A and B are shown apart, each in its own frame.
Chain A
Amino acid sequence: MFIIKCPFCGEREQSEFKAGGEAHIIRPKQPTELSDDQWAEYLFMRKNIKGIQFERWNHVHGCRKWFNVVRDTSNDEIKAVYKMGEKPPVQ
């Protein structure tokens, strides 16, 4: 079980959080103008990397805020935590 540092509440047990999949996928502003393939790219295609992954997490049993996490999936080390809308502090 990891310890995640919520940007609003501080360090908490993983059980307080809910994972929300890959981060930085922006909902298209004009979906009606996209082809099926472009829409499918947004809707379905997700990375599943062994290594550094950018993820969304929700402090669902805490402040209910969504935020971003940079996690190394090979050893679960969390490299950085940052708020929605902010640029990732590591590449």
Chain B
Amino acid sequence: MTKNLRVKIGKTIDETYRISFKFNGSTYYGFKGDTLASALLANNIHLVGRSFKYHRPRGIMTAGSEEPNAIVQLHDNSSRTEPNVRATEIEIYEDLEASSQNCWPSVNFDVGGINNILSPLLPAGFYYKTFMWPASFWEKYEYFIRRSAGLGKSPTKPDPDIYEHEYIHCDVLIIGAGISGIIAAKIAAKKGLKTLLVDEKPNLGGSTIYQNSDHFKINNQNSGSWLEKEINEIKKLKNLEIRTRTSVAAYHGYNFLLARENLTDHLPIDQRKDKTRHKLLKIRANKVITATGSIERPMIFDNNDRPGILLSSAIKKYADYFGVACGEKNILFTNNDSAYETAISLIQKGINIEAIIDNREEINSKLIYEVEKSNIKVFKGFTIVNTNGYKRINKVSLMKLSKDGQKVIGSKINLSCDCLGISGGWTPAVHLFTQSGGKLKFREKDQVFIPNKYSSDQISIGSCNGDLTLEDIIKNTPKYLREFLNLKKTDYDNTEVFSSENQSKRNIWLLPSDKILGKTKSFVDYQNDATAKDIKLALREGFRSIEHVKRYTTTGMGTDQGKLGNMHALGIISETAGAKMGELGTTTFRPPYTPLTFGTIVGRNVGEYFDAFRKTPIHDWHVDNKADFENVGQWKRAWYYPKDNEDMNQAVQRESKAARESAGILDASTLGKIDIQGTDASEFLNRVYTNAWSKLAIGKCRYGLMLNEDGMVYDDGVTTRLGENHYIMTTTTGGAANVMGKLEDYLQTEWPELDVYLTSVTDHYATVSVCGPNSKKIISKVIPNLDLTDENFPHMSFKNVNIGKINCRVMRISFTGEHSYEINVQANYGKSVWEKCMQAGKDYNITPYGTEAMHLLRAEKGFIIVGQDTDATMTPIDLQMNWIVSKKKYDFIGKRSLYRSDTSREDRKQLVGLLTDNPDEVLEEGAQIVANVNKSPIEMLGHVTSSYYSPNLKKSIALGVVKGGKNMMGQKLIIPMEKKNINVTVSDPVFLDKENKRLNA
């Protein structure tokens, strides 16, 4: 059944370079320069896929990125597999393997085709309507719906390719290297502007480059040859950079654009090694010239989706550019002159045309006379009412249109064919223009939306600006560019142009049929199987907004984003609802214009480069000692240090026990540290913390709680007074940057009169915390000349000391409730001081403990962790920390909010301790807390925020927030879990050493 439909080869195909490739398991041949689509067509293959909903056989429809049907899976089951690749864009290479999607077991026999027969039962919104009841069944439906939906298969293996990002700054960016883009590039670059020209295709010249008819002439040469010379000239220009295979995906504000440059997808796989596959170009251009051209419109009639039906312009491109005939018995169906350009090309190449069907009744056009000279029958004033042929079109039926174009009259004429070209006129590609914030206007004359108001320094030229004929492009482009680039004249001001085209067009959005609409399948969105009938149904069901109709019918929501059919959907809505197209507007064009791979988006930010991570100066020691790490913000923190095959729980229990029985050591370097200096430093702290700071003596430390202006706890930490006007503040690890930002904000904006300077010194200091009953002995060995008596160095005080020659700040502060010291030392001495402490603690079984044991130890003491026990809805009163809120201070951040009607409610969630009736039962953090499980719905009183098994108390302990918990001491509550209810008793949140005896032990 394969035939060779290659005709006279164009310049762009290298006939001496044969390439073999596989499609659905069979081997075929094409030439260098072919796309997968052109190579398949040359082998007489049209059927490449099945449609999304009805599984109808579908063929190649276009020759570009607007393709809705011919999307394939490349290299299935390999690490390089990729779904939804447009056959019309991928260039063939040796050993390319492509397969059809959305069909099983094969594209020729697809079980899902049953949906086509069932289609009367599958109207728009079918899934919404059918699978609504009963709601609890959704989980069951979902499995089957998801399995039958979806196009292609995503890769399951790691991507072996390299991707990159590149920033480009230029004076002028030109998008599209068709005739107007080439003209613009020459004008801009010759003016001395740094110019970048991009085009999604491998070659320059757009559709003019293969235009070799005498009906279109520029300066007395055929337009293709003229353009070729221009291209050769611009290639020599120094200021001009050209990037082909580069598709602009997004046009953001301030002329910031994203483009994907495709570097290796056209190469055989063995030549791709170590090369960058795609580059994401991040372009910032002073000026942007959009020359994205236009896309031919299909026509909407019954069964307009069969394999073998293509856009007429695509048939022309396959013939002129690739040297491929799409069929041997071609019929063209049109409402404008474009199809006759195709016809003339086919005649030139000796490709047979059976007939041309033209909507228009009377047309005075040189192109038509030319075609009729070749004895080709033109049916004027006719429309197609139906087509036949399941896997390939074999017949069209036509009827005469009434004068008003609303119905068909007379009798049906049947014509046999194997290929049908359709041309419904042209739609300017305004996608990027509207993405940039530009506003469109509707041109009634030929029913197109064109750019009206620009939002940045940019211009649209050529057919994307509505100049749809060669004459208009040559006449208008230099004029627009003179103004845009502020030039007196250009090289193109006196260019002569000759074109035979007649501009008349008979636009009928939905062509009439002899059947009622309900019996037709006139596809508007080919990929998503949305028909004219579906759109009318949506309108009947009350949808009015174009955005709603789009979502209900899924029109324009496929991977092609409705590049072909969106205008027809609008037209049908406008006609049915009696609204003007211009007032109806369009749906929003969103980036990307064509899909981007995830690889392109992430570039090199994969694996260990996915996010930056921060290591403490002691990190290597933790690694050497087999710590498991936990991510805290961007920090890697030692989580626990498993010994001898311990699991996490065993390690944490051992570490926690050791810290209380003898000595523990913790790397606390990640705590945020802010150096505060200035004559108003004390006043500043008074304003940002809830407690009073003015009377803190030099050399003393104090715990502070920081609120948001809404009264909710924001951060906490210990601040030390180093001098008269000098403090060092510590913050939580995760909150450091935000606290710094917040303090700067108040200083710069609310209290600029305060003499205070903030410096982040988190990274400048390493912090080693030694705790436990033997910590004093260990520190006395590390710092022998420091008097550690309670009189000289009491709890909550600080000393400046030397360890050898290294200057340290030692604080006697505790987050575990044990006697404890924190040594702060310049970061690069951190590891050395840590090792000194380890050495000194050897005799006391000094045990390094990680963040998990730290959390357990502080929970035994009822110390909160901001962000774990609080969640931006907790006031200090809710935390039962009234003691830290100054009554005397006139104001501090958040003070006023503490007596708002809402924050003074008694039934707010309050922090309490929870003890399980069974002391071995450890609660799950996040579990709900209730009082009564028998009343439905069960009232949720709160949840568990921290929960551990305490090795020191030998029982399970937990913290939680409970509505009105403050007054529930001793009350029984229930934690309902999936399989059982756990009984708990509300307790004081301090479980261990309420008298703080251990601090001074």
Contact = CB atoms under 8 A, between A and B. Distances in A.
Question: Is the pairing of A and B real?
Answer: yes
A16 interface: no
B389 interface: no
B741 A2 contact: no
Contacts of B253: 1-2, 75-76
Contacts of A32: 890-891, 895-896
Interface stretch (B33-41, B273-281, B742-750, B912-920): B742-750
A75 B284 CA distance: 17
B741 A36 contact: no
A48 B35 CA distance: 50
Contacts of A30: 891
A43 B897 contact: yes
A76 B749 contact: no
Interface in A54-91: 56, 58, 60, 64-66, 75-76, 84-85
A70 to B, nearest CB: 16
A32 B888 CA distance: 12
B900 A36 contact: yes
A39 B254 contact: no
A3 interface: yes
A27 B750 contact: yes
B76 interface: no
Interface in A1-32: 1-3, 18, 20, 26-27, 30-32
Given A31-B891, A58-B741, A39 B748 contact: no
Interface in B897-913: 897, 900-901
Contact of A34 (B455, B709, B710, B896): B896
A49 interface: no
B254 A18 contact: no
Contacts of A60: 741
A31 B254 contact: no
Contacts of B897: 39, 43
B80 interface: no
B252 interface: yes
B745 A58 contact: yes
B712 to A, nearest CB: 11
B748 A66 contact: yes
Contacts of A2: 253-254
Nearest to B455: A75
Contact of A84 (B709, B752, B896, B901): B752
Contact of A66 (B254, B455, B744, B891): B744
B895 A84 contact: no
A84 B748 CA distance: 8
Given A27-B750, A56-B749, A65-B748, A1 B254 contact: yes
A85 B752 contact: yes
A40 interface: yes
Contacts of B455: 75
A18 B745 CA distance: 12
A2 B284 CA distance: 10
A23 B22 CA distance: 63
Question: In the complex, which range does the number of interface residues on chain A fall in?
Answer: 20 to 34
Interface in B55-92: none
Contacts of A64: 744
A2 B254 CA distance: 6
B256 interface: yes
A85 B750 CA distance: 10
Contacts of A31: 891, 895-896
A3 B710 contact: no
A39 B896 CA distance: 8
Contact of B709 (A1, A43, A56): A43
B192 interface: no
Which of B437, B748, B890, B897 has the most chain A CB atoms closer than 10 A to its own CB? B748
Interface string B852-882: 0000000000000000000000000000000
Interface string B429-457: 00000000100000000000000000100
B464 to A, nearest CB: 21
A46 B749 CA distance: 17
A75 B454 CA distance: 11
Contacts of B891: 30-32
Given A31-B896, A32-B895, A43-B710, A1 B744 contact: no
A84 B749 contact: yes
B256 A1 contact: yes
Interface string B726-742: 00000000000000010
A30 B253 CA distance: 42
A26 to B, nearest CB: 8
Contacts of B710: 43
Given A20-B745, A43-B710, A65-B748, A76 B895 contact: no
Contacts of B437: 75-76
Contacts of B284: 3
A73 B750 CA distance: 26
A40 B254 contact: no
A36 B252 CA distance: 43
Contacts of A58: 741, 744-745
A85 B748 CA distance: 9
Contacts of B744: 58, 64, 66
A85 B749 CA distance: 8
A84 B747 CA distance: 11
B174 to A, nearest CB: 21
Contacts of B896: 31-32, 34, 39
B738 to A, nearest CB: 10
A20 B745 CA distance: 9
A1 to B, nearest CB: 5
Interface in B165-180: none
Contacts of B709: 27, 43
Contacts of A39: 896-897, 900
A29 B900 CA distance: 18
B749 A36 contact: no
B741 A18 contact: yes
Nearest to B258: A1
A31 B455 CA distance: 44
Interface in B249-292: 252-254, 256, 284
A66 B709 CA distance: 18
Nearest to B253: A76
A26 B890 CA distance: 18
Nearest to A42: B709
Identify the interface centre among B455, B895, B896: most chain A CB within 10 Å of its CB.
B896
B756 to A, nearest CB: 14
A36 B741 CA distance: 28
A32 B750 CA distance: 17
A27 B894 CA distance: 11
A31 B891 CA distance: 7
B745 A3 contact: no
Given A39-B900, A75-B437, A3 B254 contact: yes
Nearest to A2: B254
A6 to B, nearest CB: 13
Nearest to A65: B748
Contacts of A66: 744-745, 748-749
B134 to A, nearest CB: 40
16 contacts: A2-B254, A31-B895, A32-B890, A32-B891, A32-B896, A39-B896, A56-B749, A58-B741, A60-B741, A66-B745, A66-B748, A75-B437, A75-B455, A76-B253, A76-B437, A84-B752
Interface of B: 252-254, 256, 284, 437, 455, 709-710, 741, 744-745, 748-750, 752, 890-891, 895-897, 900-901
What 7 A-B pairs have minimum CB-CB distances, sorted nearest first?
A31-B896, A76-B253, A66-B748, A1-B256, A27-B750, A2-B254, A75-B455
Given A40-B900, A66-B749, 8 more contacts: A1-B253, A30-B891, A31-B896, A32-B895, A66-B748, A75-B253, A84-B748, A85-B752
